[in-house]
Amino acid sequence: MAENATTTLAGGVDSPPAQLRAGRPADPAEVTQSDLEKGGDAGQAEATATVSGEQSDQSSPGAEDEQNQQNDEYLQAKSELKNLRLMLRQCDRVLLLDFDLLSMSDWPDNYSLAQARRSRDLWLLSAVVAAAVFLSGLTGFVPAWVAGGGFGACVIILLLGVPFIRRIYTNKPSYLDLIWQRQRMLSDARKHVAHLEGDDGLVWQCARMAGYNASLRHGRFSDMVRLSEQRVLPRYLTKREHFRLYLIYMLEAERAYNKIQQAFFDGNQAAIDKGWQEVAAAPEPRA
């Protein structure tokens, strides 16, 4: 045993020195639950920030487009209400239209005029015959008593034609009365048209409302619109047909005016509901 031990020691002395070899890797450090929670919170915060940034980038152009759309609607509503207010101010005289005066419902018809003309012709013929008998008596062609009777008949017939005497035995107007009635009605209607037209020409200004009533664009009104633009329309209205045409145009213009008035009220109320106080019409101050 001693020899074996000596041999071992001797061999140990003579053998080369011991070498270190790579062993297995060291065990990883223990990860705690708090470290895992911190890492999860940091990742979630980063993900939330990324999503929020993407959403803000996406919502920013949409908000800008919506703002531009609101600005366009504001400008359009302001311009439209301004045009409507201008048309209402320029064409408000259509509300002063006198339908009875322009329609001339009491206009003497042609039949009444023909009857009055026939009565006038008979009256004149009778007076001429009586006067001829009287003149024949002066020449001795007929007896004196016949000539005297002709003279008396001529005087009576002429007196029957006097207006205040004629009203005693008949209520029918004479031919001259009917002619004067027509002329008076034309004169009154012409004065009314001149009042409506004013200094600016109402028909010409109402032509702007054709967008709310297409009948105002009809070709039969073109000459009347042109004369109204030249401020000479009343003097060219000389017949009843002219005034009837003017009345038809005014009725169509009144329909368009009512539509414009309703559109103005609706637009004004919409502007108030949207908070556009600058667009809405402000009430006039009371005196």
DSSP string, 60-72: HHHHHHHHHHHHH
Q: 64-101 as b/e, with b when 16 or more CB fall inside 10 Å?
A: eeeeeeeeeeeeebbeebeebeebeeebebbeebeeeb
Residue 264 sits at φ, ψ, to 5 deg, of -65, -45
Residue closest to 253 by CA, chosen among 204, 287, 220: 204
Among the ranges given (1-5, 97-101, 230-234, 280-284), the one the predictor scored with the smallest mean pLDDT:
1-5
Q: Which pLDDT band, with edges at 50, 70 and 90, does 269 fall under?
A: confident
Q: Which residue has the higher pLDDT, 99 or 142?
A: 99
Mean pLDDT of 44-72: 58
As to burial, measured by CB atoms within 10 angstroms (0-12 exposed, 13-18 middle, 19+ buried), residue 33 is exposed
Among the ranges given (6-10, 144-148, 231-235), the one the predictor scored with the smallest mean pLDDT:
6-10
Mean pLDDT of 67-76: 71
* Predicted local confidence at residue 22, as pLDDT: 52
Residue 14 pLDDT > 60: no
Residue 55 pLDDT > 80: no
Q: CA torsion sign, 162 to 167 to 169 to 175?
A: positive
Q: Which residue has the higher pLDDT, 232 or 61?
A: 232
Considering 154-168, 221-235, 265-279, the range whose residues carry the highest mean pLDDT is: 221-235
Q: Which residue has the higher pLDDT, 74 or 142?
A: 142
